[in-house]
Amino acid sequence: MNTRKFGAVIGNNVKLGVHAMLMPGAIVAEGKWIFPGERYGNQDL
């Protein structure tokens, strides 16, 4: 599966801060906190 076209998968009870960026193919585990301005996912893009 081409995860770059798939987008992101977000688990239950995830907290996303303002201007948080989820990279294509990112998988966010249940209960994860992503802080404001944080970039989450594949850093090689």
Question: Could you list the residue range(s) of the whole structural domain that residue 14 is in?
Answer: 3-40
Q: Is residue 24 part of a domain?
A: yes
Residue 10 lies in a domain: yes
Report if residue 7 sits inside a domain.
yes
Report the domain count for the chain.
1
CA–CA gap between residue 25 and residue 2 (Å, rounded): 8
Q: What is the pTM of this model?
A: 0.73
User: Is residue 45, in this structure, part of any structural domain at all?
Assistant: no
Strand partners, 22: 40
Q: Could you give the C-alpha distances from 43 to 12, 13, 18, 35, in angstroms and in order?
A: 23, 24, 19, 16
pLDDT reported for residue 1: 64
In a domain, 22, yes or no: yes
pLDDT at 4: 65
What's the pLDDT tens digit per position in 1-45?
A: 666 677 888 999 999 999 999 998 889 999 999 999 999 987 554
14 within a domain of the structure (yes/no): yes
Around Cβ 34, how many Cβ atoms within 10 Å?
19
